[in-house]
Amino acid sequence: MPYTAENPNPGPSVEKLRARIPGWGVDLDTADRPSFPQERFDLPPTGAHWDEPERQPDDPGRERSIEHAMLTPVYGTAQPLHGLSGAIRRSAYARFSEGRARHWLLLIAADRVEAAGAHARSLFTLRPDNPITETGILAERRSRPLSSRYGRGRVDARHTWMDPLLVAGPWVLAAAGLWSIAARLRRR
């Protein structure tokens, strides 16, 4: 199990929670659940021959939430953490609980760092990223852009105005930064 049974702080009792929070624990009695009486607890065995699958060898470099005493028995190894984004992810898992926004914001930042690195690496390949085609802007001409978006109640139409900024903005900023660096180098 990912969580340990030894909980040093068991928290308030069920009675205290029920008295303090209106509606807390309304589904503890199975007869009060919306799925009653279809919900079944007499299911046949699943066929698993173990209570917990055989554990993979422990990898100290694998990220693990601080709420967990150990890694899950089986975990992925295909995408090991690396570089600056990996360091940010390790920091998020080592320092902050999954219940804190800082944990998730660091993971998002690590994802953006990884994306920026991938874009930069693509410039040195034979097929670099093409922001024009990747934004899908060329398909707009063919796919009835206005009539397909407006008047149909599409929720994503609310953020359409900022999509070009989010997609093309980093490219424009990177180009401006490179232009600025090149201009400074020319002046010297």
26-55 per-position pLDDT tens digit? 888 888 888 888 888 788 887 777 778 888
- How many angstroms separate the CA atoms of 8 and 20, rounded? 22
Of 74-88, 134-148, 150-164, the poorest mean pLDDT is in 134-148
Cβ distance 91 to 106 under 8 Å? yes
pLDDT at 1: 41
The arithmetic mean of pLDDT across residues 11-24, rounded, is 88
- Give the other-Cβ count within 10 Å of 92's Cβ: 22
- Identify which has the larger pLDDT, 146 or 155: 155
**Residues 181, 188: Cα–Cα separation, whole Å:** 11
pLDDT computed for residue 179 by the predictor: 95
Q: Who has greater pLDDT, 38 or 181?
A: 181
Sign (positive or negative) of CA dihedral 145, 148, 150, 156: negative
Q: What is the pLDDT of residue 6?
A: 59
Does residue 4 carry a pLDDT above 80?
no
User: Which three-class secondary structure state does DSSP give residue 69?
Assistant: coil
Can you give the pTM of this predicted structure? Answer: 0.60
pLDDT at residue 180 greater than cutoff 90: yes
